[in-house]
């Protein structure tokens, strides 16, 4: 740690497991942003819109377009976020290399009707 000045935490990558109503993990979310379903299929999203979360210290709400093998997915929406914001730089110490910032959110996957 440099004396008198704490470096800010830097965002590395998202990492989350999306669960169904019973709590079973069905999709893993990671950098890209990418979602991989338990059947092995995956899609990468592209940012379409971003809005600050209404709750303080919560990550933004997003609207992403789906691509790849989730071919019917037209948009992915992240809303109702809680947490996920990097901690204050004052919490950094010389032993800290990485910090995982827990969050919760609702993700909606939209598709065209068949």
C-alpha–C-alpha distance, residues 70 and 66, integer Å: 7
Express each pLDDT in 73-90 by its tens digit.
888 899 999 988 877 766
Predicted TM-score of the model (pTM): 0.60
Express each pLDDT in 3-40 by its tens digit.
456 556 677 777 889 888 899 999 898 887 888 888 88
Q: What DSSP assignment string belongs to 33-74? A: TEEEETTS-EEEEEEEEEE--SSTTBPPEEEEEE-TT-TTEE
Q: Which two tokens stand for residue 62?
A: 């997003």
C-alpha–C-alpha distance, residues 106 and 81, integer Å: 7
């Amino acid at each position: 740690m440099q004396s008198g000045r704490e470096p800010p935490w830097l965002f590395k990558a998202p990492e989350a497991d999306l669960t169904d109503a019973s709590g079973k993990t069905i999709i893993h979310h990671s950098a890209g942003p990418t979602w991989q379903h338990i059947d092995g299929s995956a899609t990468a999203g592209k940012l379409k819109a971003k809005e600050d979360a209404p709750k303080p210290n919560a990550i933004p709400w997003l609207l992403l377009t789906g691509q790849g093998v989730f071919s019917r997915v037209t948009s992915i929406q992240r809303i109702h976020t809680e947490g996920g914001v990097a901690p204050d730089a004052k919490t950094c110490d010389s032993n800290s290399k990485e910090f995982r910032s827990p969050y919760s959110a609702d993700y909606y996957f939209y598709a065209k009707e068949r």
